[in-house]
Structure 1
């Protein structure tokens, strides 16, 4: 049974929103070595990089709060409205990073503004994934949920891929000092483009049929956070939190830090980093779709367990090879990105 036009719009709209999230994440990571001294100047470059990484980390920290806020909002007012708000807020926040003054212009206010923008961005980002995943899974027939789960999750890696391509183009157009002066700003300005496209698609989407059905009956259960965490769903909450914490740590603790790590410690240039991330994120993108489809055949739980185990077993030896011998960086990163990403593919369908 093929997808209807409405279901395709929902899947694409959710995919594009998650792609924008991945796009922004990798933009920040790609420019950290270049902008660290602009916002956190120090005689110790390591301090500047760590401080800039902290501003990136606050985005991840705020995501659970965003998930709660927009999860409750989506239950009350609809998934579609929630997704329109999150993509609008997220796009504006990404664009705003390019407008921020540097430390040389505004002093200590510059890093404070950067952190505040990233905090706000994290809230919208948290709501983005939850709203899109719920709407997609609620709107799709069961026999297609594995495929659509992998497709939705792969949006994050697709955003990585687009960002790596944009980074490569901008580093060619703005070389040397020009990149530190204006090039990095242009990169963040480009973040508004996928946001506008996603917003356009979302306005044309239909609301979740399951939500409409329950809303028409006036029987939607307004779940309070305390009841979810401490009540009848406590076990499910702990399980979901543990799985997502592990997967997020695994992904961001490996693939996300690679651009900065390779530039600073393996001495790979910006152009090579862009090429490398294009290969790696393409592999990651395909890996998530692969396990989403596979989970339809072997089951969500089994697919997640198998590929989590594979990620743990492969991460240390592959990481050591990258650090010790950069002649094999490209093939190792392709394999590394594929393996690390696979466990995330079935997650939306598994949680549903």
Structure 2
């Protein structure tokens, strides 16, 4: 029999749980809103920040700069994850949302290439580095905070909802960009209105900050403090026995998950916006947004189902589905964009959104269940970010496949088959990672309860 102390996991979904979940949903929305904006608005930023050249190459340069910036997420996870395990999750979250909102908004103040030359692109990359650091800290404390305030029976559903904040942010970014193009026209957005687009990031930052200032620390972390179990070096403990095997298993899994993610966020817009696609930028953004709406629904549904089928079993089933459908759905997207078939392209976008983002619905709870409470912020944050070490260079992999492996299948300016191949690679990594790990459904989040 296990006796649980008073300062344990909540038994009901109360006001504090609502605050914790809504805070992380909005914070993760902000993360996605900013980062996805870079990808969806890449053709415009390429014209504003880079010299005239091949449109596809210029867009790849923007996407590559995005890859370079997310490489700094592990640094943010290391800094703020370690801090979250030592001083608490709440203080971490206040710092990260402030930094993320302000730095994202500073993008609006960048000079253009016509004003300062290549310095504009250098400054853009530097801001992306700062965004990456704060974003890496955002989910380090945020995911454990939300999960530690969630009663057991709601974990799967809330995990999907919290992770769905990323897809919702992506959808919101596409809608906002489409609205600005509709109001100012493509020329107006290229000339000046792109700055207004980035300023809109201040709105979710203010909302998240207001909620976080009113929150309390989680009972699980309070229990760690009360029993004097705060670790001296929670981050480095991840690489010591017996935890390092767990960490590297998570790293393999998360590598594949990043391939999944950017098969939607990075390359669906690129496929829709480049020849032989006949869609206008506004049409492409609308079609892409359908995929992000579906991604949100998929993540919530997947998370909820995992509470019954198990995190590991459901993910392994999804791997087989992905391997079967990857090439057909991207071919549908490509041919529909080529022929101007809005219905076909929308259907493909929705299917890709579900396939690539649904399995993310278990990430907040799976990673929280995978690491002990005294090292959870470090484990969740750095474990999440560890997928970036290999997965973060997705733009290079797709470009290499496009140029050397699948040149005869892709078109000169479209990377549909190379993107499908990236998703297949993701499924392989995810399958190996989950196969090597345990089922976590049923794991208690409080550390080392008293046994009698």
- Whether 1:241 and 2:251 are equivalent positions in the alignment is yes
- Whether 1:299 and 2:310 are equivalent positions in the alignment is yes
- 2:246 aligns to what SS in structure 1? helix
- Whether 1:335 and 2:351 are equivalent positions in the alignment is yes
- 2:238 aligns to what SS in structure 1? helix
Q: Once the two structures are superposed, what CA deviation does each residue of 1:132-191 show, in whole Å capped at 9, x if it has no partner? A: 111111222222111111111100011112112211211111113211011211110001
2:331 match: 320
TM-score with structure 1 setting the length = 0.96
1:285 match: 296
- Whether 1:211 and 2:221 are equivalent positions in the alignment is yes
CA contact (8 A) 2:24 2:143 kept: yes
Using the TM superposition, give the Cα deviation of residue 224 of structure 1 relative to its aligned residue in structure 2, in angstroms.
Answer: 4.5
1:75 match: 85
Q: Once the two structures are superposed, what CA deviation does each residue of 1:89-123 show, in whole Å capped at 9, x if it has no partner? A: 11111101111011111122211110000011001
**Cα distance in structure 2, aligned partners of 1:43 and 1:59:** 23
1:43 match: 53
- Whether 1:58 and 2:68 are equivalent positions in the alignment is yes
1:200 match: 210
**Cα distance in structure 2, aligned partners of 1:295 and 1:271:** 36
Alignment of 1:1-352 (within 5 A): 2-265=12-275, 266-326=277-337, 327=341, 328-351=344-367, 352=369
Using the TM superposition, give the Cα deviation of residue 312 of structure 1 relative to its aligned residue in structure 2, in angstroms.
Answer: 2.9
- 2:35 aligns to what SS in structure 1? helix
Using the TM superposition, give the Cα deviation of residue 63 of structure 1 relative to its aligned residue in structure 2, in angstroms.
Answer: 1.3
**Cα distance in structure 2, aligned partners of 1:95 and 1:272:** 26
CA contact (8 A) 1:308 1:343 kept: no
**Cα distance in structure 2, aligned partners of 1:240 and 1:223:** 20
- 1:346 aligns to what SS in structure 2? helix
**Cα distance in structure 1, aligned partners of 2:265 and 2:56:** 20
Using the TM superposition, give the Cα deviation of residue 2 of structure 1 relative to its aligned residue in structure 2, in angstroms.
Answer: 4.3
User: Which sections of structure 2, spanning at least 5 residues, go unmatched?
Assistant: 1-10, 370-452
- 1:174 aligns to what SS in structure 2? helix
Q: Which has the higher helix share?
A: 1
CA contact (8 A) 1:304 1:344 kept: no
User: How many residue pairs end up in the alignment?
Assistant: 352
Q: Once the two structures are superposed, what CA deviation does each residue of 1:216-251 show, in whole Å capped at 9, x if it has no partner? A: 333212344443124321111011111111111111
CA contact (8 A) 1:86 1:127 kept: yes
- 1:221 aligns to what SS in structure 2? coil
User: Which sections of structure 1, spanning at least 5 residues, go unmatched?
Assistant: none
CA contact (8 A) 1:19 1:158 kept: yes
Using the TM superposition, give the Cα deviation of residue 255 of structure 1 relative to its aligned residue in structure 2, in angstroms.
Answer: 3.5
Q: Once the two structures are superposed, what CA deviation does each residue of 1:248-306 show, in whole Å capped at 9, x if it has no partner? A: 11111333321122111323212212221221111100000001110011111112212
In terms of mean alpha carbon deviation, does 34-43 or 91-100 score higher?
A: 34-43
- 1:175 aligns to what SS in structure 2? helix
Using the TM superposition, give the Cα deviation of residue 75 of structure 1 relative to its aligned residue in structure 2, in angstroms.
Answer: 0.8
In terms of mean alpha carbon deviation, does 73-82 or 217-226 score higher?
A: 217-226
In terms of mean alpha carbon deviation, does 285-294 or 208-217 score higher?
A: 208-217
CA contact (8 A) 1:305 1:343 kept: no
**Cα distance in structure 2, aligned partners of 1:309 and 1:99:** 46
**Cα distance in structure 2, aligned partners of 1:255 and 1:14:** 20
Q: Which has the larger radius of gyration?
A: 2
**Cα distance in structure 1, aligned partners of 2:284 and 2:54:** 23
**Cα distance in structure 2, aligned partners of 1:30 and 1:6:** 35
**Cα distance in structure 2, aligned partners of 1:2 and 1:162:** 31
CA contact (8 A) 2:159 2:363 kept: yes
**Cα distance in structure 2, aligned partners of 1:123 and 1:313:** 36
CA contact (8 A) 2:269 2:284 kept: yes
